[in-house]
A and B are shown apart, each in its own frame.
Chain A
Amino acid sequence: MSVIFVLIPLLAAIAIFSGVKARLTALIASGLILFLGLGSVFCWQADVWSISFEVLATPSIHLAMGFYDGISVIMLLLSVIVLFAAILHGGAPEGREKLWYASSLLIGAGAIGAFLSTDLFFFYAFHELALIPTFLMIGILGKGERKEAAWKITIYLAFGSIVLLAGLLWLVNASGSESWLFKDLLASEIDPAAQKGIAALLIVGFGTLVSLFPFHSWAAPAYASAPTPVAMLHAGVLKKFGLYGLIRFYPMVSEGMQDWLGLLIVLLLGNILWVGFVTINQKRMDTLLGNSSVMHMGYIFLAFAALIEAGSASANTIAIPAAVVLMFAHGISIAMLFCLSDSIQKRTGTLELADLGGLAKAAPKLAFLFGLAGMASIGLPGLANFSGEVLVFLSGFESYKGGPLGCVQIATILALWGVVISAVYMLRAFRKTFQGPAVKNSTGVADLTFMEKMPAMILAAALLIVGLYPNSLLSLLEGCGCQVSSDATEQSDN
């Protein structure tokens, strides 16, 4: 049954290409799966959602989809919310609505298919489905240096995908599993010697897809040049695919990952600190947001590193919930930021921070919503990102038993500075854009219309709900071997 989450956007995209009204069809399709997704939160454990159809006998590959555990539900929620907001935001140039909405739906379908797949082959294949629509959208309808950005993201991600494919093939071969289904793979064991090589390939492969330092240089130009829905979907949803994959396959390569822990910590600190400083240096809102999204991936990798250090999800029960909540929170907040920065661009015609100023006078609602999203990105308590980030930092110390600090603990301490860094660039961006005297570009602009407010408000609502009541997400994660104790949730609420 869960295949409808992929079928509805796919069929809508085909219908749009065949000529039906693009925006209406896309809204209906994404709205439908939004409601279905919200509804599935309450009954995701029912058997009706799983399907499995064998498409190949040797090797045994199935078209299998379903909610493997609570992580898939949360990722689905993220995807449907951001997809609906992206479609609602709209902004297609005249005459190009077909390509605009159909591509957005295809990218969404690819992401949803990847998160809902319970078979390794289709998990990988659905993510690739998003590649061509992204290439076309950035190349044709993007802005700025769109052609170079389109080539860069396509070839870089293709290379990362191939390395990932080699790692996954090796994983399947070494596991001796009889099929490619997740449940068969996760039930099998891999020889530790092979685990090291597989872990390396998975880190590089998935890491490239998540813009892990130093494989991150595709991300900022791509998001700066991409049309808004593509930026929202890619930074918000599609990037999380790599992290989801790492968490999902971690149990199979847990010993192999231990060998790479030190290197991973250096790389994730590169994301947080190096790319953080690069972000501070940005002079344009779009490149600032692109780099900030790369920077925040470092936190999620920190939770993953804590998981590796502990050795298993039961030894460090907060690591996986931390990663998942932060993935959700970051996805929503970055989508909201890209959505609103597009509104800024439409009104003032520029995203250069030097040319902006005093926009709050003319557009107070825009200022408020952008401020909310910015605060979320920094990690203000009460918004979803704080719940995620505090869990990440707590998970870094979860395995600490006193005595000398391990590398994960030192990394956590250094990563805390990332909060300061993000405060610096986000507050400065907000001040430069909205506060101070009004400049030429900011006078006489209109505030957000109702239609423009809706996507931002939906995303803001998600941030507030998860921020004030993190158990809404954390309760879904119980029973996947990663129970969060009530002490930790109480600490995070305070």
Chain B
Amino acid sequence: MPAHWLEAYVVLAGIVLLMLEAFLPRKEKFLIACLGIGALVFGLVLLFWAEAPENNKEMTRFYAWDSQAKFFKGFALLAGIMTLTLCLDYRKILAKFTANPDSDDSTGEYYCLILFAVAGMMWMASAKDLVSLFVSLELTTITLYILVAYMRRNVGSLEAGVKFLILGAISTGFLVYGISWIYGATGTTSLAAIGETMSEENSTFLLFGLALILISLAFKVGAVPMHLWIPDVYQGAPTPTTAFLSVASKASGFAVALRVLQPFFENSITAEKTTFIVAVLAGATILVGNLAAIPQTNFKRLLAYSSIANAGFILLGIAAWNSKGDLSAFQVTGFYLSVYFLMTFAAFFILAAIHRDSGSDEIAAFEGLGTRNPALAFLTTIVIGALAGLPLTAGFFGKLFAFQAAVGASLWIPISLGFVGVAAGFFYYFKIIRAMYWRKSLKTSPVKVRPLSFYVIAVLTGLIILLGFFPQPILWLLGA
């Protein structure tokens, strides 16, 4: 089956579900989410059956099919499945803030939009031409605008949506400007052409175009200085959207960044300058992300800053592209993103469970959890430890590989900023542990967690510990 039929299938599935949604009775909109999960799982199966679109010359020009593409497509599908699972337990809150409060009426479209966004991300993973990159990026981003502002009776969600829309539009402008510079310098929109036509004369134009594209990608990924939208948008959006943004959107941003940066890193004319630019981005992102998280009292906002900090570590791994270590930049990035997937979705499931119980996203809502629900508190401790980068959890391996690559490339300043970042991380992550175990809450009632959420959290946490001892399976997926 030609690989580009995968995205067509996901879009088609989204459209079919949209039609179904229009005609399904009110009480059963959650079936759309279940069908969506089923469609995405089937998509995962199809992923193994797909093969390169060699016979189709137009497609081959726009569509890459290599291990990188396969990994990020699988990642997007899994992220979509996780988000829809999170929606199942979150839909009461979603329903409260849409057109008809306390009825599931308007929640059905949410699930379909996730599928469209996943399709966009899958295409972004394969985009080897600037035009297809742009189109797929826009598909994802515009869908995400709607997903962020979805809870339209909630002022926070609307504000987040407007912020995201305006800043996203500006970043799209930068992207198009950068694309036009690169087109002007190389004469085509193919990314491979950059490597072929690079020379001393047009390297300046190419670097300028790259800088503009990097601004846009920095927006997508949440790197300094384009990170300012992240705390507000993550805090205001519905939790499944935040989780989806935090994991999948970031991953697809990195997928695109890897493809765009590849010709620049591999060509000796621009390699040093590109390393410098990305290393500066990495250092600044690690510093700002970690330090700004310290005063946070809202767990959702803290997770937003943590996602900025983690993006910084991934950028550190990318900056070490030419380090001649055991792992390539794609493998370091892919590994970190896989581990990040597990930890972040676990954290968001926990957040959603606490929100269901207490109605608040504050860290104070975790108080007394050690006595009110010891099992959940224990799982949260492990997830927090993984986010902080404690050894024997998978989170440590992600940071280890990033640091190892950076040491191999001798990027000492970003590494020292990384030290500060990790130490700061221990403080702001352990604030959650402090709240759960040291602080007593006024409420002493047990915190109930829905069975589905609990099983997902337990499975994700189990994987975090297992991969903390035995991380080889992820590297097998990455083709190492």
Give me the interface of A with B, judged by CB distance under 8 Å. 17, 54-59, 63, 121, 124-126, 128-129, 131-132, 135-136, 139-140, 147, 151, 154-155, 158-159, 162-163, 165-166, 169-170, 172-173
Contact = CB atoms under 8 A, between A and B. Distances in A.
Contacts of B123: none
Q: Which of B391, B408, B419, B427 has the most CB of A within 10 A?
A: B391
B169 interface: no
Contact of B408 (A55, A126, A173): A173
Contacts of A58: 326-327, 475, 480
9 contacts: A128-B396, A131-B390, A139-B434, A140-B437, A155-B423, A155-B427, A159-B422, A166-B415, A173-B408
B24 interface: no
A367 B426 CA distance: 42
Contact of B391 (A57, A125, A151, A166): A125
B404 A163 contact: no
B433 interface: yes
B438 A147 contact: yes
Given A124-B391, A169-B407, A132 B415 contact: no
- Main SS of chain A's interface residues? helix
B422 A57 contact: no
B7 to A, nearest CB: 32
Given A59-B326, A136-B437, A162-B422, A170 B407 contact: yes
Contacts of B385: 132
B465 to A, nearest CB: 11
Interface residues of B, number: 33
A129 B391 contact: yes
Interface string B430-472: 1001100110000000000000000000000000000001111
A166 B403 contact: yes
Contact of A169 (B326, B403, B438): B403
Contacts of B390: 128, 131-132
A165 B400 contact: yes
A253 B58 CA distance: 58
B211 interface: no
Given A132-B433, A170-B407, A159 B423 contact: yes
Contacts, number: 84
Given A124-B391, A140-B438, A173-B408, A56 B423 contact: no
B378 interface: yes
B429 to A, nearest CB: 10
Contacts of B427: 151, 155
User: Which 6 residue pairs are nearest across A and B when measured between Cβ atoms?
Assistant: A125-B391, A58-B326, A128-B391, A159-B423, A158-B426, A162-B419
Given A132-B381, A158-B426, A56 B471 contact: yes
A55 B415 CA distance: 26
B330 to A, nearest CB: 13
Q: Which of B423, B434, B475 has the most CB of A within 10 A?
A: B423
A131 B433 CA distance: 13
Contacts of B381: 132
Contacts of B31: none
Contacts of B35: none
A124 B325 CA distance: 21
A211 B38 CA distance: 56
Contacts of B433: 132, 135-136
Given A58-B475, A124-B391, A125-B392, A169 B404 contact: yes
Contacts of A131: 390
A59 B423 contact: no
B469 A55 contact: yes
B434 A59 contact: no
Given A17-B378, A136-B437, A163-B419, 15 more contacts: A56-B472, A56-B475, A128-B390, A128-B396, A129-B391, A132-B381, A139-B438, A158-B426, A159-B422, A162-B422, A165-B400, A166-B415, A169-B400, A169-B407, A170-B407
Nearest to B407: A169
B430 A154 contact: yes
Interface in B363-397: 378, 381, 385, 390-392, 396
Contacts of A163: 419
A55 B470 contact: yes
A39 to B, nearest CB: 27
Contacts of B423: 155, 158-159, 162
A158 B475 contact: no
A79 B334 CA distance: 39
Contacts of A129: 391-392
Nearest to A17: B378
B391 to A, nearest CB: 3
A55 B391 contact: no
Contacts of B471: 55-56
B475 A57 contact: yes
Q: Which of A124, A135, A162 has the most CB of B within 10 A?
A: A162
Nearest to A165: B403
Contacts of B426: 154-155, 158
